[in-house]
Amino acid sequence: MSSCHKPLQLLVLLFASLLFLQQAGAGEWSGYLGVEGRTFFNDPTDPRQKGDNLSFVAQPEYYTDWDNGNQSLLFVPFVRLDQNDPERSHADIRELIWLKASDNWELRTGIGKVYWGVAEAQHLVDIINQTDLIEGPDGEEKLGQPMINLSLLREWGTVDFFILPGFRERTFPGRKGRLRSVPGIDPNNALYESSRKELHVDWALRWSHIIGDWDIGLSYFDGTSRDPRFVPSVNSSGETLFVPFYDQIQQTGLDVQVTKEGWLWKLEAINRRGMGETYNAFTAGFEYTIVGTLDSQADLGLISEYLYDDRGINAITLFQNDLMLGTRLTLNDEQSTEFLLGIITDMDETSERSYFIEASRRIGDRWKLNLELRIFSLQNPVSPFYALRNDDYLQLELFRYF
Amino acid sequence: MKIRILMLSSLILLPLELFAQSPEEKGLAIAVEADKRDTGWNDIKTELSMVLRNRQGQESKRRMRSKILEVEGDGDKSLIVFDYPRDIKNTAFLSYTHALKADDQWLYLPALKRVKRISSNNKSGPFMGSEFAYEDISSQEVEKYKYKFIKDDQINGRDAFVIERYPQYKHSGYTRQIAWVDKEMYQPLKIIFYDRKDSLLKELVFIGYKQYLGKFWRPLKLEMVNKQNGKSTTLEYRDYQFKTGLTDKNFNRNTLKRTR
């Protein structure tokens, strides 16, 4: 299931299967087409990296159900065509999943997507799906994961069993792409701890429950780490690149949210074994919402999250002792206008910061405009993210929904 | 002995006292009767559409499906799934309403597959950018208000009680509401809303009541006009289905993820 680098072939395949499904009958099509423009404010760190970029994206969705809605099939293909980075031109099956549901259980079989957790700044507990990192540096986009998932719905909570056959490698920007490490990542020669490589079958277990104001989740994962480590390596043309190395890990996760009127208190914590030394990490914080700010209909949310990783500055993460402060403005207007502003600061070296603004607004009933601005203030040459220092960008996306 | 005399006299006085009910008692009695008559429907499935109009007359549409479960002694449970606009298609909103405390609310975001428990101080906030607030469309428990009977009146040829009601929920967006309650159906025909500063805010008219299962009255159309900003919203219900056999299991976090 490694990501495909022949988007045109995949596109043809996609449309053929879409047509087939439409012939098959009773389902329903929806989805979106989008165009994305990115402009970078500085010259790239590596002269081979390109500047301003245009990109097209499509994500149709086919849904059909039968058996009184107790069985359904969902198909969500995805394709992006990118002006400058051939790696970013990629396709994926986000979902192709059959659901069978009963009163007390649900069975999902196919390629699916699962989200665990409560925090905003990072998603420590969320581990089922691989990150489609080439889509955006925030890592919010995920690749489809082959799975068999049985959910048991009980009075004392929901228990989910997962069997995850087939591992997806993380996607990374290519040689010409921005927002990558320097040297870049070699996407074709990933290394694995397991001799079965990407065929290793992972499994996971989760219990989740609501007790009054508390939403609680406890999870366990055993299998191939979604986060790689990186090994410097020289390829056949003599170029130094980082090769991703995927360990076998065991991860225990806890996520809790306590909702008290305007306050959301959040905690995500993990213990991970198998990636070198055993380590712990957590995200803890709150979101407080002021309803009807300044006599208007807008809601103002104040967000603060502290991010900790006990590997300290050796952590292959930006977030070993960091603070995220953010504010969310929801206008509650007809266009569903929203703004999210934030700053993430390294508490060890407060000069290491990143700023972001995300905004979105519907236009008419069928269009949507998204804006994203990211500024990296990084001065420490030892940091693995130092390479992003010249990649401040402004991004506009226009989507047409159908 | 004294006690017995008192009891006796109160028995004799009882019919008289009913007659001399205070406006507050009469208002409450009307609300209690309305609640009693609308008890026992168990669950409702319906389709909703809204047309939002701004001052310039520009329109914006919403479509959604709703399931409601009657909960004895508490607010109802409701699940709303959005169909239109398309960018929020399959977004689902689950709410366990309560009369006086904050509701429990979860939002399912299908693009992220994320179920978010959300802050519920927003009962006074606009529902989907419309002129309806969450508290206007959620279940109407007797304890939500204190009441006062004002007068008898006629509206569109129908006899109505006019009662004033005062929200008891501390985050309500209103100081008071004046409701015209139909004397035959015990359902509202019109409500006028006053904001936190007690200025006239909105006017809501209920149109096209129909009776279901020989007992329960439901309107087909609600017209809400905001008198302060000139915007309006028409909310239409389609295809009411009562007692479809929904249970608690249709209103939990998991089913939220697979509701279509």
Tens digits of per-residue pLDDT, A357-366? 999 999 999 9
In chain A, the residue whose alpha carbon lies closest to the alpha carbon of B127 is: A332
Q: By CA distance, what is B117's nearest residue in A?
A: A259
The nearest CA of chain A is from the CA of B96 a distance in Å of 11
pTM: 0.90
Question: Does B125 touch chain A if contact means CB atoms closer than 8 Å?
Answer: yes
Burial of A8 (0-12, 13-18, 19+ CB in 10 A): exposed
> What is the amino acid identity at position A35?
V
Interchain pair B129, A264: CB under 8 A: no
Closest approach of B120 to chain A, Cα-based (Å)? 6
Predicted local confidence at residue A139, as pLDDT: 92
d(CA B167, CA B100): 9
Secondary structure (H, E, C), chain B: CHHHHHHHHHHHHHHHHHHCCCHHHHHHHHHHHHHHHCCCCCEEEEEEEEEEECCCCCEEEEEEEEEEECCCCCCCEEEEEEEECHHHCCCEEEEECCCCCCCEEEEEECCCCEEEEECCHHHHCECCCCCCEHHHHCCCCHHHEEEEEEEEEEECCEEEEEEEEEECCCCCCEEEEEEEEECCCCCEEEEEEEECCCCEEEEEEEECCEEECCCEEECCEEEEEECCCCCEEEEEEEEEEECCCCCHHHHCHHHHHHCC
pLDDT > 90? residue A228: yes
Quote the pLDDT of residue A343: 96
Smallest CA–CA distance, residue B105 to chain A, in Å, is 10
| A158 has a pLDDT exceeding 70 | yes
Q: What percent of chain B has pLDDT over 90?
A: 74
pLDDT tens-digit readout, B191-230 = 999 999 999 999 999 999 999 999 999 999 999 999 999 9
The pair of structure tokens assigned to B48 is: 């909703």
With H, G, I as helix, E, B as strand and everything else as coil, classify residue A307.
Answer: strand
Q: What is the pLDDT of residues A26-72, one digit of tens each?
A: 788 999 999 999 999 999 999 999 999 999 999 999 999 999 889 99
For residue A266, the model assigns a pLDDT of 98
- Paired tokens of A376: 């990296």
Cross-chain CB nearest to B52 (options A63, A208, A334): A334
The C-alpha atoms of residue A226 and residue A248 are separated, in whole angstroms, by: 10
Asked if residue B222 lies in contact with residue B207, where contact means CB atoms within 8 angstroms, the answer is yes
- Whether residue B185 is predicted with pLDDT greater than 80 in this model: the reply is yes
Question: What does the pLDDT read at residue B18?
Answer: 53
Cα–Cα distances in angstroms (integers) from residue A337 to residues A5, A198, A328, B5, B112, in the given order: 36, 42, 11, 69, 19
Res A3: pLDDT? 44
Task: Provide mean pLDDT across the span B22-37.
Answer: 95
CA separation, residue A243 to residues A181, A230, A239 (Å): 12, 5, 12
Rounded average pLDDT over B143-148: 94
Of A32, A140, A261, the CB nearest to B119: A261
Question: What does the alpha-carbon distance between residue A113 and residue A144 come to, in Å, rounded to a whole number?
Answer: 6
Q: A311 falls in which pLDDT band (50, 70, 90)?
A: confident
Question: Which chain B residue is nearest to residue A105, measuring alpha carbons?
Answer: B254
Cβ within 8 Å of residue B118, ≥6 positions away: A259, A264, B105, B106, B107
Q: How many CA within 13 A on the CB side of residue A245?
A: 13
Sketch out chain A's domains with CATH numbers: 7-401 (2.40.160.10)
pLDDT band at B148 (very low <50, low <70, confident <90, very high): very high
Q: Which two tokens stand for residue B160?
A: 């109505």
Place of tokens 């380590």: A279
Torsion on CA atoms A74, B81, B114, A33, rounded to nearest 10 = 60
Could you tell me the pLDDT band of residue A7, with boundaries at 50, 70 and 90?
Answer: low
CA distance B30 to B99: 18
Contact assignment for B129 to A263 by CB distance below 8 Å = no
Beta carbons of B84 and A115 less than 8 Å apart: no
Structure tokens at A14: 């996609």
pLDDT averaged over every residue in chain B: 90
Task: Give the separation between CA A122 and CA A227, rounded to whole angstroms.
Answer: 13
Task: Specify the pLDDT at position A386.
Answer: 87
Instruction: Please return the burial class of B99, using the count of CB atoms within 10 Å of its CB with bins 0-12, 13-18 and 19+.
Output: middle
Of residues B116, B129, B173, nearest to A332 (C-beta): B129
Question: Do B173 and A292 count as a contact with CB atoms less than 8 A apart?
Answer: yes
Chain B residues near residue A72 by CB distance under 8 angstroms: 258, 260
Structure tokens that stand for B19 in this block: 């007659």
Q: How many CA atoms lie within 13 A of A318 on its CB side?
A: 23
- Output the six-digit token pair for A181: 């490490």
- pLDDT value for A5: 46
Local confidence band at A17 (pLDDT 50, 70, 90 cut-offs): low
Phi, psi dihedrals of residue A19, rounded to the nearest 5°: -60, -40
Say yes or no to pLDDT of B109 above 90. Answer: yes
For residue A360, the Cα-to-chain-centroid distance in whole angstroms is 18
Beta-carbon separation of A399 and B125 below 8 A? no
Residues whose CB falls within 8 Å of the CB of residue B85, separated by 6 or more in sequence, listed in order:
A362, A365, A366, A401, B60, B61, B62
Residue ranges of domains in chain B, CATH in brackets: 35-258 (2.50.20.10)
What is the number of other CB atoms lying within 10 angstroms of the CB of residue A124? 24
Question: What pLDDT score was predicted for residue A4?
Answer: 44
- In this prediction, residues A219-247 reach a mean pLDDT of 93
Q: How far is CA B166 from CA A369, B144, B179, B191, B203, in A?
A: 41, 8, 11, 13, 16
| pLDDT interval class at B125 (50, 70, 90) | confident
Contacts of B118 in chain A (CB under 8 A): 259, 264
Residues 6 or more apart whose Cβ sits within 8 Å of residue A312: A320, A321
What burial class does residue A25 get, using C-beta atoms within 10 Å of its C-beta: 0-12 exposed, 13-18 middle, 19+ buried?
Answer: exposed
